[in-house]
Amino acid sequence: MIRYFTSALAGFGLLLATLSPAMAAGPAATASDPAAQQIREFYAVLVDTMKQGSSLGIEGRYKKLKPAVEAAFNLPAMTQFAVGPAWTRMSDDQHKALVAAFERMTIANYAKNFDSYDGQKFVVLPDTITRAEDKLVQSELRPNKGEPVKFNYRMREDGSKDWKVIDVLLAGFTSQLALRRSEFAHTVDTEGAAGLVKKINQVADNAMKG
């Protein structure tokens, strides 16, 4: 059974964080917007994975989703934000270990929470909001029954000029990374980078148990 709402909320550890008025006031982009297309392509892989969910198993879903997550998400930037100011005091090797663990956790959560298909539709809404260097791609998960669930994506161009996700907003305004930073802060302060890598990998391990 797909666990797209309650499990995603618990698995991602999201925190209510309303969008700034400046972001909300930005102009809308066209339907061919490259940031929106990035999310459409990610959703195509996600839905295909869900349709094969049972036969793939969680390991198979993880392997299928890995390249799609890497293409759509700026995982180093997301990791840096989630770690917070302590990032600047860490070594390159510690950065690499943290990004690898964060990536593993992100993919594992998708593999766990989106495990089957029952006709649900992921719809990228036509208006992509642009403000300064960021874009907000708005989307909905529309189940067969019940209200749509909003998944919005804050996106920014990376060094290769590809638009990639830098935060996920559940219910339209709930920031994935804000609470991650809060969750990670104590571990960073008391156990440092090595302790945080261990903690993140434990979250991934638990997700991979299904």
Mean pLDDT of all residues in 160-174 = 89
Residue 23: pLDDT band (50, 70, 90) is very low
**Predicted TM-score of the model (pTM):** 0.86
Q: Is the pLDDT of residue 5 over 50?
A: no
Q: CA–CA separation, 49 vs 117, rounded Å?
A: 9
CATH number of 6-208: 3.10.450.710
- What is the residue extent of each domain of the chain? 6-208
Predicted pLDDT at 173: 78
Residue 31: pLDDT band (50, 70, 90) is low
Mean pLDDT of all residues in 3-9 = 44
pLDDT, one tens digit per residue, over 104-113 is 999 999 999 9
Predicted pLDDT at 8: 43
Predicted pLDDT at 172: 72
Tell me if 12 sits within 8 A of 107, measured CB to CB.
no
Helix (H) or strand (E) holding 187: helix 176-208
Residue 135: pLDDT band (50, 70, 90) is very high
CA-atom Rg of the chain in angstroms: 17
- Which two three-digit tokens encode residue 96? 């690499």
Q: CA–CA separation, 24 vs 109, rounded Å?
A: 28
